[in-house]
Structure 1
Amino acid sequence: MDYRAVQVNSSWRCAVNLEELNLPFFPEQVERLLNELGFRCLEIDLLAAARGCVGKSAYALSADPRHAPRTVNCSSFIKYLYSLRGVWLPRYAVQQSELGAPVAIGSKLRLGDLLFSPGFFPLSRDRDGAGGLGHVGLATGEGSVIHASKHQGTVREVPLDAYLGMREGVHSIKRLIPDPDLTLTYLIPTNSFLESSDDVRWLAHTNLRR
């Protein structure tokens, strides 16, 4: 899966799965090259970052993503979390739902899976709003969901069953990082330009000999 680089504060980062690049080099060679070029691998705890916002981030319906995590809505909260992981996401839940791999409803959820709830939103792809989305939350992989709650005015962690009851079920589930253990988050050095994880392919071909 190709991941688009994202800016976090004054620096840029990008998630990369070296195994998926199908390069004629060993992943260890590419890792060593990235280190030599000044890329730094970051350890990101997505669950800790999400729980760190519980009861602290303020909810605002039209929250500006640039103000996260201080102020969030449901989708800007998700956008913020994945930016830490080096994955750029669009700002609206409807747009976010079009990315990633589908997960069958009722299957075991992993940390990072996105649960989209039905509801009307003007950005629905249908002219009448049918099939629209109303909310998005993050699965913890531990039987709960963390989401920015309009009614609670902040970020909350709730049991999965309670979340589904509040949100009138699930519209769809998406998995943005299928192989989290193999997907690394790199801090991009200021003297390099990387638009997406696919650009690592060209760095490798340019700098490594077969």
Structure 2
Amino acid sequence: MHGEGMPRDGADDSPSQRDSVATRAALRRRQLGLSQEELAQRAGMSVAYLRQLEGLREDFDPAALMRIAAALGMPYEELLRGRDDAPPGGGPAATHPVLMRLSEAECWERLGTHGIGRVALSADAGPVLFPVNFLVDARTVVYRTDPEGAAAATAGERVAFETDHLDEQLSTGWSVLVTGAAEHVTDPEAVRALAARPGAEPWAGGVRTLWVRVVPGQVSGRVIRTRG
């Protein structure tokens, strides 16, 4: 899935850097005996987008690259920049970020009660991603949109929702991915209760009368923690 408008990582974006990221990803994938299709499935993305990320041919979504690193069983920074050798003379090891899985409970803790995320829907050309402000309601994700708008998932449609927080200065962050089916919230009492909650007002404005609930089939997350 492509995160539109996501900033580039602070790493050098020269052709050699792009090539080295692609080389490290491809080499590790071959070491694990994985095809691109198998790696894409592990990382929760399409094969076409995996190929785009491996080549870093345009602005990339750091959260998606985090999922690739996790699927390859390697630290995010190692995938992005390569391994750092230990300092000479047996000095103390440098502090470095490590990519770790989040439990489902930890994922919901990071989702909180409301915030901003991205919902991914299927289109003829492939997955498309839309920014939405969301609410968490009884272990489901709910967002409000225009009934005729592009983000108006149909009832029963398979959808994905992703949100993250990244700090490039500290090389830390997390990403949570929710995949499941869309439902339309039509009960008037439920709609009133959702509309009264903080964060329910759509940031984009306009006619946003359709409430879409993402009922999770799977919840997964990754976090970058700093270790010595």
Normalized per residue, which structure has more strand? 2
Q: TM (normalized to structure 1)?
A: 0.27
Normalized per residue, which structure has more helix? 2
Q: TM (normalized to structure 2)?
A: 0.26
- More relative contact order, 1 or 2 (CA 8 Å, 6+ apart): 1
Larger radius of gyration: 2
